[in-house]
């Protein structure tokens, strides 16, 4: 009897920890709750290790990721998989063994808040393997340096170097890639890096080969407004919470973590900030750029006065290489045809919606793929054990778009 009581108490405690109130429209909520409970536990363990001075929280989390998720490069009957170097960066290369002699090509950047993850993770390995087979394309999944060992603009320069190498005649010839059918893609922080890279390279007239497509998966694109309608609506929705995004930004930009409350309150983007012009503000005005059905009744949070020294301490907040949404219209106009995936239950939803709108306004053809039941990072959960219906749908539609346009 005593064991039953203890068991019931432990089960109740576990259920209490796992349960998170979720919007009714979210896909397979209990799977998301279980995943969120696991991630929260890991994040809390990282915070404890960090506060005790044992190691940086990102080091601990990545060590766990490596233990659990990293797999060796293993070829199969359809795809040859190897680990190599691209522009000085480690990369996992996926080459179809059959199909056309001249292949399509995709360079891919993984997500993880510029601090976590690797191209060698099982989820990314399976995604790129499927892309290679279904598209008959060479996929190069790149590992860039991570926080805390590297901060902005190091990650940007890493993926820029890898992208230049990817587009070089030597690499295209070596892997039999059609120079007219190449794409840059990435998810979350990787989507941020992909957008920044394609802006830079599209404006580089010295290049003989340029990207035909850009495919951005729930990208993070700005750090001036943490009270967009999606940040307000989804601040309590897993798997990425609003404070976590702010922390990732501060880590990426090499800033003092004590600034987190100021950014959460939008004090860094108040109207008395001389470094933020009216033109800059218009580039992320979600009240004008986000469709009405997503804005609902949320209202913007605009501070009259704030903390002016924040932008002086963290200039990366207004650096277009870190925040591609701030790019000028002329820069956007030179970028290639775009695919932008967004999810309704994602704090970053409006970043993607605003970018898609700004690309369209600049004359770029954009395919907006929005999932009303989706959540952040859903696409990488397209395989067991965290298989989700919206994950499978989003992955299939992403690959289908690439197949039809690349």
Instruction: Give residue-wise pLDDT tens across range 197-207.
Output: 999 999 999 99
- Catalytic residue check, 188: yes
Question: What local confidence, expressed as pLDDT, does residue 260 receive?
Answer: 97
Question: What local confidence, expressed as pLDDT, does residue 8 receive?
Answer: 38
Write phi, then psi, for 318 (nearest 5 degrees): -115, 15
Instruction: Give residue-wise pLDDT tens across range 131-181.
Output: 999 999 999 999 999 999 999 999 999 999 999 999 999 999 999 999 999
Question: What local confidence, expressed as pLDDT, does residue 18 receive?
Answer: 73
Residue 54 neighbours by CB distance under 10 Å: 12
User: Which residue from 198, 229, 200, 227 is spatially nearest to 106, judged by alpha carbons?
Assistant: 198
Question: What local confidence, expressed as pLDDT, does residue 1 receive?
Answer: 52
pLDDT band with cut points at 50, 70 and 90 for residue 402:
very high
The whole-number average pLDDT for the span 257-281 is 95
Active-site pick, 188, 202, 382, 388: 188
Active-site pick, 36, 158, 178, 346: 346
- Catalytic residue check, 59: no
The whole-number average pLDDT for the span 211-215 is 98
Report pTM: 0.95
- Tell me: pLDDT of 53 over 80: yes
- Tell me: pLDDT of 356 over 60: yes
112: left (phi over 0), alpha (psi -120 to 50) or beta: left
CA distance 385 to 399: 21
Instruction: Give residue-wise pLDDT tens across range 315-340.
Output: 999 999 999 999 999 999 999 999 99
Question: What local confidence, expressed as pLDDT, does residue 28 receive?
Answer: 87
Which domains occur in the chain, in start order? 68-377 (3.40.50.1820)
Question: What local confidence, expressed as pLDDT, does residue 37 receive?
Answer: 85
Active-site pick, 373, 376, 388, 394: 376
pLDDT band with cut points at 50, 70 and 90 for residue 106:
very high
- Catalytic residue check, 367: no
Strand ranges of the sheet holding 337-345, from the earlier edge strand across to the other edge: 79-86, 89-96, 137-142, 103-109, 177-187, 213-217, 337-345, 366-375
**Mean confidence (pLDDT) of the chain:** 93
The whole-number average pLDDT for the span 294-313 is 92
- Tell me: pLDDT of 10 over 80: no
- Tell me: pLDDT of 3 over 80: no
pLDDT band with cut points at 50, 70 and 90 for residue 12:
very low
The whole-number average pLDDT for the span 34-42 is 85
Listed in sequence order, the DSSP H helices in 218-348 are 229-234, 242-252, 260-264, 278-282, 286-289, 292-295, 309-313, 329-333
Question: What local confidence, expressed as pLDDT, does residue 232 receive?
Answer: 97
Q: Which two tokens stand for residue 44?
A: 């809390």
Question: What local confidence, expressed as pLDDT, does residue 296 receive?
Answer: 92
Percentage of the chain exceeding pLDDT 90: 80
- Tell me: pLDDT of 2 over 60: no
């Amino acid at each position: 009897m005593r064991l039953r009581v203890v068991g019931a108490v432990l089960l109740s405690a576990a259920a209490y920890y796992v349960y998170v109130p979720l919007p009714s429209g979210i896909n397979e909520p209990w799977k998301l709750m279980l995943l969120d409970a696991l991630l929260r536990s890991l994040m809390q363990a990282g915070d404890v290790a960090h506060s005790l001075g044992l190691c940086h929280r990102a080091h601990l989390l990545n060590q766990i990721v490596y233990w659990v998720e990293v797999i060796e490069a293993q070829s199969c009957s359809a795809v040859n998989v190897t680990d190599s170097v691209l522009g000085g960066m480690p990369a996992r290369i996926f080459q179809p063994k059959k199909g056309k002699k001249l292949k399509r090509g995709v360079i891919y950047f993984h997500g993880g808040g510029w601090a976590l993850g690797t191209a060698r993770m099982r989820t990314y390995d399976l995604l790129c393997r499927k892309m290679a087979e279904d598209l008959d394309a060479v996929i190069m999944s790149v590992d860039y340096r991570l926080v805390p060992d590297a901060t902005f603009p190091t990650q940007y320069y890493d993926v820029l170097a890898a992208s230049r190498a990817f587009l070089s005649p030597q690499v295209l010839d070596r892997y039999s890639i059609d120079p007219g059918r190449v794409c840059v893609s990435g998810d979350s922080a990787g989507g941020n890096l992909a957008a920044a890279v394609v802006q830079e390279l599209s404006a580089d007239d010295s290049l003989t080969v340029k990207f035909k497509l850009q495919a951005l998966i729930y990208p993070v694109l700005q750090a001036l407004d943490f009270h967009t309608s999606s940040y307000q609506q989804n601040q309590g929705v897993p798997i990425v919470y609003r404070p976590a995004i702010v922390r990732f930004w501060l880590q990426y930009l090499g800033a003092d973590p004590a600034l987190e409350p100021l950014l959460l309150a939008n004090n860094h983007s108040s109207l008395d900030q001389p470094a933020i012009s009216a033109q800059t503000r218009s580039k992320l005005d979600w009240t004008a750029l986000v469709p009405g059905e997503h804005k609902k009744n949320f209202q913007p949070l605009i501070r009259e006065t704030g903390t002016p020294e924040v932008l002086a301490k963290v200039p990366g907040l207004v650096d277009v290489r870190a925040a591609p949404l701030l790019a000028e219209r002329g820069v956007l106009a030179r970028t290639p045809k775009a695919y932008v995936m967004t999810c309704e239950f994602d704090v970053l939803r409006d970043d993607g919606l605003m970018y898609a709108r700004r690309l369209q306004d600049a004359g770029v053809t954009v395919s907006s793929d929005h999932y009303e039941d989706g959540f952040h990072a859903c696409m990488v959960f397209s395989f067991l054990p965290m298989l989700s219906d919206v994950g499978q749908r989003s992955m299939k539609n992403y690959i289908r778009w690439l197949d039809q346009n690349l």
